[in-house]
């Protein structure tokens, strides 16, 4: 497991690990992909710098990365974002057009039983996503919330994790949702952990990854 005090440290450690220990293959899009299975990353205090990896990506001026307010909106809005194949907000706040998993389940459950181990949010919709010919499906498939020692800790399972380009947005979205739930519970923010069953980077990303790894922390903050 990778353990880090903040988000930027966690990102850099995971990228370094993939460069050194990942195995190369060509994926379904014929891109050379370097992958390591089942990487767990724990961020002790994501609130310090949850958006910093996104800002670091934007400094390259190469990608049209969504602004952080839009990334947050996608996580909290009950309506689908028409420009994306899927968005997370409707899947948790209006699951299958009928159920709010956050306000009607997780928050009441943790208020009633702070020690609960059942505070789970599902993004994977079997009816929509479990089709062999469908490719645009959620990468972040579930979240687990634990209230311990007065802090809300969150763990996310990511089935397919582009560690360079996708993980920064996932972490920021998880942090936004963590803040939303913690405010409702009147508790503090705890850790964020991701478990990536396929963590990977792509060969065309290597020069940018190496630039991030060479930077001193004050340069990427």
Q: Averaged over 154-172, what is the pLDDT? A: 97
Mean per-residue pLDDT of the chain: 94
Q: Averaged over 202-207, what is the pLDDT? A: 96
| pLDDT at 121 (0 to 100) | 97
Alpha carbon distance 166, 188 (integer Å)? 26
Side-chain-side CA neighbours of residue 127 (13 Å) = 4
Q: What are the tens digits of pLDDT across the range 119-133? A: 999 999 998 899 998
| pLDDT at 16 (0 to 100) | 98
pLDDT value at 218 more than 80: no
pLDDT value at 217 more than 60: no
Q: What are the tens digits of pLDDT across the range 130-156? A: 999 888 899 999 999 999 999 999 999
| pLDDT at 99 (0 to 100) | 94
Contact in structure between 36 and 77 (CB atoms under 8 Å): no
Report the predicted TM-score, pTM, of the whole model to 2 decimal places: 0.93
Paired tokens of 85: 């194949």
Contact in structure between 176 and 75 (CB atoms under 8 Å): yes
Contact in structure between 87 and 81 (CB atoms under 8 Å): yes
Nearest to 88 by CA among 145, 49, 139: 139
Q: What are the tens digits of pLDDT across the range 40-61? A: 999 999 999 999 999 999 999 8
**Alpha-carbon distances, residue 4 vs 43, 171, 181 (angstroms):** 5, 13, 23
pLDDT value at 187 more than 70: yes
Alpha carbon distance 108, 55 (integer Å)? 35
| pLDDT at 32 (0 to 100) | 95
Any idea which of 2-16, 47-61, 63-77, 193-207 has the lowest mean pLDDT?
63-77
Handedness of CA 79, 137, 28, 56 (dihedral sign): positive
| pLDDT at 184 (0 to 100) | 98
Q: How confident is the model at residue 64 (pLDDT cuts 50, 70, 90)?
A: confident
Alpha carbon distance 91, 122 (integer Å)? 8
Q: Averaged over 82-89, what is the pLDDT? A: 80
pLDDT value at 169 more than 60: yes
């Amino acid at each position: 497991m990778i353990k880090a005090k903040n988000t930027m440290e966690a990102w850099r450690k995971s990228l370094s690990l993939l460069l050194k220990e990942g195995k190369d293959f060509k994926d379904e899009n014929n891109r050379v992909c370097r992958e390591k299975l089942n990487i767990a990353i724990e961020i002790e205090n994501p609130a310090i710098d949850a958006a910093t990896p996104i800002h670091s990506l934007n400094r390259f001026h190469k990608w049209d990365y969504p602004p952080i307010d839009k990334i947050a909106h996608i996580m909290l809005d009950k309506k689908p974002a028409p420009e994306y194949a899927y968005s997370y907000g409707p899947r948790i706040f209006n699951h299958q057009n009928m159920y709010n998993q956050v306000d009607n389940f997780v928050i009441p459950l943790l208020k009633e039983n702070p020690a609960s181990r059942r505070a789970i949010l599902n993004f994977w919709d079997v009816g929509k996503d479990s089709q062999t010919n469908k490719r645009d499906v959620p990468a972040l498939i579930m979240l687990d919330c634990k209230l311990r020692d007065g802090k809300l800790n969150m763990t996310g399972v990511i089935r397919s994790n582009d560690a360079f380009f996708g993980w920064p947005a996932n972490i920021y979205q998880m942090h936004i949702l963590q803040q939303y739930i913690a405010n409702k519970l009147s508790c503090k923010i705890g850790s964020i952990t991701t478990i990536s069953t396929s963590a990977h980077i792509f060969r065309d990303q290597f020069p940018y990854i190496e630039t991030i790894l060479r930077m001193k922390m004050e340069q990427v903050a």
